[in-house]
Amino acid sequence: MDRIRLIGGNPLNGTIPISGAKNAALPLMIASLLTDDTLTLDNVPHLADVEQLIRILGNHGVDYAVSGRREKQAEGYSRTVSFTARNVVSTTAPYELVSKMRASFWVIGPLLARCREARVSLPGGCAIGTRPVDLFLEGLQTLGATIDVDGGYINASAPEGLMGNRYVFPKVSVGATHVLMMAASLAKGTTVLENAAREPEVVNLADCLNAMGARVSGAGTTTITIEGVESLHGARHAVIPDRIETGTYAMAVAMTGGDVLLEGARAEYLQAALDVLGSTGATISSESAGLRIKRNGNGILPVDITTEPFPGFPTDLQAQFMGLMTMAAGRSRITETIFENRFMHVQELARLGAQISLSGQTAIVDGVSKLRGAPVMATDLRASVSLVIAGLAAEGETVVNRVYHLDRGFERLEEKLSRCGAQIERVSG
């Protein structure tokens, strides 16, 4: 099993290209099930989760073709992928596939809308909380679907097709917003989704659906309106740059010091996180090519944060920010409001010398003057990269085990960091 080996202490200087967003690419890929024409997606990241979803879509009969990559980039970086679901051969998403990645459950929306039936296993993914699917099912029932849960599978049907309706999310859910937006695009009549997620990835999906002939308005606000159409056609659409990758590398620079251009990054996708980062003492500036992050020799200032749905501080950057705060000059408080079990990285950061205590859903971090390298173990995708951030500043050697978590969401992380001066490598076996 691969590991990441780091020797800390080097500042980061150079350019890091920001890849396409995993959290945008996955729903866009699933949207290919809505049409029998070809959907071509540019800037698709080369990640384990993307490859897994390609296998899942293939199970439903979706053909795919990969072509091209960014100019001057090595093999393995973001590429163009075309998906064609001309013949849906199965409306069942089996446990052995869905259990490996939670987002694969989202196929239930397009399958139900286009084929009027779907049998989908209850989902898997990172163990960061229960993350129930009740909002998905309640929303689909509001659109006229009949839902039955049997033997770990969701059996959904709408023999006469889905019908437009009004649905108010009891709480904000990005995944459920994706699913209901896709399902409603082929429903009869108008659907209004209230208290919808406002994330950039939701807007990216809405723009793609509209390019395919859907009538979606209001994406990016709390109320999304979808006027159903009889069918969708093919289109070409680009995956937005990854705001979580952007924030992760920005925090790595804030942790180590240095000067790095995050090529292709867009500030509006993570302004709350950038504002917080600026308060820690980092300097952030927008350039035509992306975002530049700098930190001179001054210390890291402590800042309190609370995770919130967009446009607030993202839960997917909470672990990385905690890694940064381990060396802040004082006490910080990090409150997690999205997932109830997303502090599993605390005990691993403690192995590096971090001083962190937990009080309910709040982590209290007392910054230390130095961290010391140690073997650590990744527990989920974002937790794993928080250990990398800490290891970049720790004295001596840090070895991060279970890096398959990293491969799910970060494209060529060790290569990007090493090009900026980090002493980091992947060790096989």
Q: What is the mean pLDDT of residues 276-297?
A: 95
Mean pLDDT for all residues in the chain: 93
Nearest alpha carbon to residue 277 among 258, 245, 312, 302: 302
Catalytic residue among 115, 126, 208, 420: 126
- Is the pTM here over 0.85, yes or no? yes
- Position 192, amino acid: V
User: Was 316 annotated as part of a binding site?
Assistant: yes
At 168 the three-state DSSP class reads strand
pLDDT tops 90 at residue 152: no
23 annotated ligand binder: yes
In this predicted structure, what is the pLDDT of residue 378?
A: 87
Q: Is 133 annotated as a binding residue?
A: yes
Distance CA 197, CA 24 (A): 13
- pLDDT given at position 77: 67
At 382 the pLDDT is: 75
Note the pLDDT tens digit of each residue in 331-383: 999 999 987 667 889 999 999 999 999 999 999 999 999 999 999 998 887 78
Q: 8 with 392: CB under 8 angstroms?
A: yes
Mean pLDDT of the region 212-238 = 98
Is residue 127 over pLDDT 70? no
131 carries a ligand binding annotation: yes
Mean pLDDT, to the nearest integer, of 301-317? 97
d(CA 155, CA 157): 7
- The domain limits of the chain are 3-18+241-427, 22-238
Q: What is the distance between the alpha carbons of residues 9 and 357, in angstroms, rounded to a whole number?
A: 26
Q: Is 407 annotated as a binding residue?
A: no
DSSP string, 366-423: E--S--B--EEE--SHHHHHHHHHHHHHSBSEEEEE-THHHHHH-TTHHHHHHTTT-E
Give me the mean pLDDT over the 105-126 stretch. Answer: 88
Residue with the two structure tokens 């990969």: 66
267 HSE (CA, 13 A, CB side): 17
CATH no., domain 22-238: 3.65.10.10
296 assigned binding-site residue: no
Q: How open is the CA angle 124-125-130, to the nearest 5 degrees? A: 70
From the candidate CATH numbers 3.65.10.10, 3.30.930.10, 1.10.3720.10, 1.10.10.60, the one assigned to the domain spanning 3-18+241-427:
3.65.10.10
128 pLDDT band (50/70/90 cuts)?
very low
Q: Are 48 and 74 in contact (CB under 8 A)?
A: no
pLDDT tens digits, one per residue of 21-55: 999 999 999 999 999 999 999 999 999 999 999 99
Say if residues 267 and 19 touch (Cβ distance below 8 Å).
no
Same fold, 3-18+241-427 and 22-238: yes
Q: What is the C-alpha to C-alpha distance for residues 75 and 79, in angstroms, rounded to an integer?
A: 9
Considering 138-147, 292-301, 396-405, the range whose residues carry the highest mean pLDDT is: 138-147
The band of 58, judged by pLDDT with boundaries at 50, 70 and 90, is: very high
420 is catalytic: no
Residue 386 tokens read as: 């928080």
What local confidence, expressed as pLDDT, does residue 300 receive?
Answer: 97
